[in-house]
Structure 1
């Protein structure tokens, strides 16, 4: 039976961190317990500052724990584009800071019990045809120009044809859940850690006040270490755009273990690595992108991934299947630093695309430098309140036009509405009832439950994610469990509950 949870979370130990129960005052409040939040906690651990970290759910189980966990400065076909868009000097900053992040993460992993299953591996981009092979040649030259060690190879054993591969040696893979829980343990002697502690409201001032679990946390500085900021300051939900992709795990059925971490040069996305557990080799693979909340696109992406795994690796059944969410920045670079000029003590980081491990570590370094009053080489490059209309203007307009279409089309034209009788046991769908659009789940016993289908962030209509059993917003990436509880922002309020009246029209 396929488990609908990430491979890394399957064997996680119980959490030792409490929910916030009392008012408190800190110098720095870190909101989010992923790689960004915990790396920042590590950087601030010995500074003498009063620091607390608040995780809305559980450390290690969110975006970082749902990734394929490749620790690499190889970010797809990235560097040639950066040189063309930004120039070699600024592209070199991006490259070198991500190279440093690889080393920093590996060093921290060695301090954690079991080293978080850290393994040194080469990272490869593989070409499927001659045109892609030529793209790899261009990318290889760009990497060399920026001081990155990379080379074209063609003799890597793989169960499919790859005429050329671009190899980045000396990269790493690990268990992200064990890494974050281990890092939390390393900082917990000096940093207050809280789980099940969701920030519902922020009132700015000196100090600012965060509303968490009915308590008040006063903070001199606030760091939103969430995938997308949970406040509208800076309007980052209009500059970083959500997308999903399926991720699967399965035992390798006797085939030779691919040695390395791999991603395709072109679409559809083929990204995979191996892991070792209980004496068995496992394959962890991610498939092509889909629009969050689009059930048809998601089904197609999962079917495509299953077919590819069967064809190339002989994998007939998946042990784990889940979806992950990422945010693509409009100009190809993450947004890190003060959210706005008027709120310099509200610090954010978002738009890591699919490379949040190293970029999260880089962002933590930048934010730590900002708090400590020191310079950072990438601070200006990734400045959160930057404006680059030539680099990102087209993407900005195109993506926000799509979001506007969702707002109008989904709410007024009701394109997602299904008939309640078409919702099977264990499934969900959006139903129109009494002029309202409701997100309806049918339980295994046939009973129905309903919540509002209107996302509490800005009002888009959510869609059913059958893999994770969640309601996902296609506009700005908020996700809710089937009862309407917030899983990820930018929304902070749950979907309103509705009593299901079968007799009502």
Structure 2
């Protein structure tokens, strides 16, 4: 793998700093406990605190530092070529409710930022879904008509601000882009000012549903609450079996400094070339920050050339189309899509009375996260929402079945098929520094990483969620589960759920003079 351009860090993480919050200790009692401090969890906690509820926001890592800290941060009701599909599957009224809920979320951010005085670099710009292929023009025209019928200010156009020609595009007016961490950290500060409690470095590992509910952290600390919101990106509790209706995917991001005169002035997306998404952000002086996303893949399925090769393709596309750009940052985003294309927001499962969930945002976490926060606030406080039934996690539509079977087929392929494959390396000695592979040791598959100094770090290759075998991500140096998207550091610690427990450590036999004995 060649040296990749840019610092491996999210620009939002680097430029949006906030205070640290303590870990949970002992037992705390509140009205509502929100598990997960990403965009959905923070927005739900803030809405509930504003409604007068005593709220505890609990995060396994740092506030707004997980999936939310690595987003593209488009704040839009235009979610790619979606509305023609929604009109076909949910009917015209279902598509209208979806569009209205998303556009109101976009507008809500503007109102709240102004109300709280949050400088989050909010810019109102048009959003486009475009195609370079003439074969896609008829579909784009249909999408523009469906989006307009759903209530969005949509039109079909042939000219855009991109520095290359397109065959056509759907343009939707009055969308937005912003700095997600600056906005969300502002909400957290106001949450605390309203009496809310925030706990970081606290991983919740068990939930007892009752009256009240009890949440237990890995160190034994407890939160007692009447109501619980599970906003952990991929639900960390499986009782609703939502893992069977969610498909995880990762996308890569490169950010580059661009002369302001080259700003395409808008947000752009094409599903072509395995997705290419473009937006800009303020950078200072006569420059803008260009943010390009693409190369979608399922975690653990980086492809023959690995994730590093995907980064190279995305960087090459960026510099080909924006030759004045200078790549400064790169990172990766992850999200889950529901099998019917609509998020799950509402009561966790059919028997649930006091536990709620928000997940399945399909790559559009900003508007969906804000929408989810408002919807959950209404549900928990007894308010009415015109789109509660649209997002209800307990729904199951007939048109969802083919996608559900396809998603579960992919999981079964990995769960069973990966066990029939030979190990990725015959011997630990074959693993080069800075890389990882699965090796059979003492009859068991181990996930083994060799660091730059030659030391080996071995953990169980079985994901602690449901037991699928993990795979190594060469660019991010992490173990990933291809079944449900859990991610682990090379020492086995959890980076991303639904897993809540680390990979078990393994001890390797002495490798001899060419290596070191390794254990974690």
Same fold (TM over 0.5): yes
- Change over 3 Å in CA distance of 1:173–1:377 after alignment to 2: same
Counterpart of 1:207 in structure 2 is 212
Unpaired segments of 5 or more residues in structure 2? none
The structure 1 residue matched to 2:144, chosen from 118, 140, 163, is 140
Q: Secondary structure at the match of 2:367?
A: helix
Partners of 2:119 and 2:140 in 1: CA distance: 33
Counterpart of 1:379 in structure 2 is 388
Counterpart of 2:39 in structure 1 is 35
Shift, 1:265, TM fit: 4.6
- Change over 3 Å in CA distance of 1:410–1:265 after alignment to 2: closer
Q: Secondary structure at the match of 1:243?
A: strand
Shift, 1:415, TM fit: 5.5
Counterpart of 1:275 in structure 2 is 281
Counterpart of 1:293 in structure 2 is 300
Counterpart of 2:126 in structure 1 is 122
The structure 1 residue matched to 2:100, chosen from 96, 99, 118, is 96
Partners of 1:418 and 1:127 in 2: CA distance: 45
Report if the CA contact (8 A) 1:122-1:171 is conserved: yes
Counterpart of 1:488 in structure 2 is 496
Matched, 1:459 2:464: no
Counterpart of 2:314 in structure 1 is 305
Q: Secondary structure at the match of 2:353?
A: strand
Counterpart of 2:202 in structure 1 is 197
The structure 2 residue matched to 1:430, chosen from 438, 443, 447, is 438
The structure 2 residue matched to 1:186, chosen from 190, 215, 232, is 190
The structure 2 residue matched to 1:234, chosen from 229, 240, 245, is 240
Matched, 1:364 2:373: yes
TM-score (norm 1): 0.95
Q: Secondary structure at the match of 1:343?
A: coil
Shift, 1:46, TM fit: 3.0
Partners of 2:388 and 2:272 in 1: CA distance: 31
Deviates more, 1:461-470 or 1:111-120: 111-120
Q: Secondary structure at the match of 1:498?
A: coil
TM-score (norm 2): 0.93
Counterpart of 2:63 in structure 1 is 59
Matched, 1:402 2:410: yes
Deviates more, 1:145-154 or 1:448-457: 145-154
Partners of 2:461 and 2:110 in 1: CA distance: 43
Matched, 1:225 2:210: no
Partners of 1:307 and 1:322 in 2: CA distance: 16
Counterpart of 2:160 in structure 1 is 156
Partners of 1:451 and 1:50 in 2: CA distance: 41
Q: Secondary structure at the match of 1:439?
A: strand
Partners of 2:52 and 2:156 in 1: CA distance: 48
Q: Secondary structure at the match of 1:115?
A: coil
Shift, 1:253, TM fit: 6.1
Report if the CA contact (8 A) 1:247-1:287 is conserved: yes
Runs of 4+ displaced beyond 6 Å:
none
Report if the CA contact (8 A) 1:323-1:467 is conserved: no
- Give the 5 Å matches for 1:405-416: 405-414=413-422, 416=424
Counterpart of 2:360 in structure 1 is 351
Deviations 1:234-267 (A, max 9, x none): 1111101111111111212687111111101534
The structure 2 residue matched to 1:443, chosen from 446, 451, 454, is 451
Shift, 1:37, TM fit: 0.9
The structure 2 residue matched to 1:262, chosen from 259, 268, 271, is 268
CA RMSD, aligned part only?
Answer: 1.9
Partners of 2:216 and 2:422 in 1: CA distance: 35
Report if the CA contact (8 A) 1:227-1:350 is conserved: yes
Partners of 2:364 and 2:207 in 1: CA distance: 29
Report if the CA contact (8 A) 1:457-1:491 is conserved: yes
Shift, 1:112, TM fit: 5.2
Deviations 1:34-74 (A, max 9, x none): 11111111211133322111011011211122111000000
Shift, 1:2, TM fit: 2.5
Matched, 1:17 2:21: yes
Shift, 1:216, TM fit: 1.3
Deviations 1:347-405 (A, max 9, x none): 111111011111111122221111111221111111111121x2110111111111111
- Change over 3 Å in CA distance of 1:414–1:221 after alignment to 2: farther
Unpaired segments of 5 or more residues in structure 1? none
Q: Secondary structure at the match of 1:395?
A: helix
- Change over 3 Å in CA distance of 1:415–1:449 after alignment to 2: closer
Partners of 2:51 and 2:265 in 1: CA distance: 41
Partners of 1:315 and 1:408 in 2: CA distance: 48
Report if the CA contact (8 A) 2:423-2:440 is conserved: no
Aligned residues: 504
Partners of 1:16 and 1:300 in 2: CA distance: 36
Deviates more, 1:450-459 or 1:318-327: 318-327
Deviations 1:6-42 (A, max 9, x none): 1111133253311112311111110011111111112
- Change over 3 Å in CA distance of 1:439–1:255 after alignment to 2: farther
